Amino acid sequence: MQCQLLETPLLNIFNFQTLIATKAARIKHAAKGDKVLEFGLRRAQGIDGALAASRAAYIGGCDATSNVMAGKLFGIPVSGTHAHSWIMSFDSELEAFRAYAASFPDTCTFLVDTYDTEQGVRNAITVGRELREKGFEMQGVRIDSGDLAYYSQLARRLLDEAGFPQAVVVASNDLDEQIITSLKLQEAAIQVWGVGTKLVTAYDQPALGAVYKLSAIRDMEGNWVPKVEQSQQSMKINIPGVHAALRFFQEGKAVADMLIEEKNLPLQSDTYTIIDPLDPTRRKKLKRQGLEVVSLLVPVFEAGQMVYQRPDIHSIRARTQQQLAAFDRSHKRLINPHLYPLGLERDLYQLRNQLVLRAKGEDL
């Protein structure tokens, strides 16, 4: 009964935040160490969708958010510039930049594409010089439209020639990991990426399909009885039993994940075979010797009591980045990644087949 009540909120939270953290990791990966700012609030799916996305994007690898509320609630660094409408509310762009510089003298990034991007960069340089006379340095310029490769190179050249080599070029405008990769190939002179819509909605795949399944239930004597659904779609057949989820590391590198019945822990055998349930010919054999084994499941509630120390968001982010770094780069490339070995321990695989075939009235 309790599990049934928790099913829906847990799935909502796990599905969405895992999705966005993954998307953020892909984008940060494409940015190759550049700063990535999450700019998604205006296009996110609901106000809480935006907050949850900001949190997950930071964990996944973003460096800051433009969502001030997310910053306040979760302790995420906040970052942003002014709007086009700020510029348009003044008689001239130069006047608008000066007013902005007067308010934020030491954190000025000027949005330069409201009227004419080249002139915008020149105006930013003018106000940057005025700031410098007062002892401040502008942070940089942001370009939000047009050909980002061309204009970033132009802005870089103008800034360098004017004596502002430290000023960064920030780019935004429907960016995602594919466009960032393309701009990198074109040698765009962009040091900071503002990514909004495509990140916070996971635009190219806006839902993750994790589901809730009953895999075991206690009988009257308190023994666990494995349960299996018998769907017409193989994808929908659950994995019966009470499971542990293990990740194997070799010299710091993640080499495979394995589900095993919890009752078979601690590991006894010297070798293990991990079988992909959707393609049983895909198998990974592991020798235990020299492998580090980490349990991926951690108890949070036991008998109604929370038994878990909640880490702060910076620790969660650090752990995520450390785990991501443990996967070989071949698993992380954006096109045709090498599939990470992942599956069922051989006995669990056989239990599942037995139960499915028994439910169909057939032998193995």
SS3 of residue 6 by DSSP: helix
Among residues 43, 184, 283, 332, the one that binds a copy of itself under rule CB under 8 A: 43
Q: Does 27 bind a copy of itself (CB under 8 A)?
A: no
Among residues 45, 264, 323, 353, the one that binds a copy of itself under rule CB under 8 A: 45
Nearest to 98 by CA among 76, 79, 125, 64: 125
Specify the amino acid at residue 317. Answer: R
Q: Does 208 bind a copy of itself (CB under 8 A)?
A: yes
Interaction with a copy of itself in 254-293: which residues (CB under 8 A)? Answer: none
Interaction with a copy of itself in 98-157: which residues (CB under 8 A)? Answer: 113-117, 145-147
Q: Does 193 bind a copy of itself (CB under 8 A)?
A: no
Q: Does 70 bind a copy of itself (CB under 8 A)?
A: no
Q: Does 84 bind a copy of itself (CB under 8 A)?
A: yes
Smallest separation (angstroms) from a copy of itself to the CB of 73? 13
C-alpha torsion sign, points 144, 150, 156, 158: negative
Smallest separation (angstroms) from a copy of itself to the CB of 84? 6
Residue 75 neighbours by CB distance under 10 Å: 12
Angle at 125 between CA 124 and CA 128, to 5 degrees: 85
Measured between its terminal Cα atoms, the distance across the chain in Å is 34
Say if residues 110 and 95 touch (Cβ distance below 8 Å). no
Stretch that binds a copy of itself, among 42-50, 123-131, 154-162, 258-266 (CB under 8 A): 42-50
Which tokens sit at 11? 């799935």
Residue 358 neighbours by CB distance under 10 Å: 13
- Judged by beta carbon, residue 219 or residue 302, the one nearer a copy of itself is 219
Smallest separation (angstroms) from a copy of itself to the CB of 82? 9
- Judged by beta carbon, residue 83 or residue 307, the one nearer a copy of itself is 83
Rounded Cα distance between 177 and 62, Å, is 13
Q: Does 95 bind a copy of itself (CB under 8 A)?
A: no
Q: Does 9 bind a copy of itself (CB under 8 A)?
A: yes
Smallest separation (angstroms) from a copy of itself to the CB of 52? 4
Rounded Cα distance between 319 and 340, Å, is 19
Among residues 72, 73, 75, 88, the one that binds a copy of itself under rule CB under 8 A: 88
Among residues 104, 136, 212, 340, the one that binds a copy of itself under rule CB under 8 A: 212
Cβ-Cβ contacts under 8 Å for 139 (sequence gap 6 or more)? 107, 108, 109, 167, 168
User: Which residues would be at the binding site for a copy of itself (CB under 8 A)?
Assistant: 3-4, 7-9, 11-13, 15-16, 41-53, 83-86, 88-89, 113-117, 145-147, 197, 201-203, 206-209, 211-214, 217, 227, 229-233, 236, 359
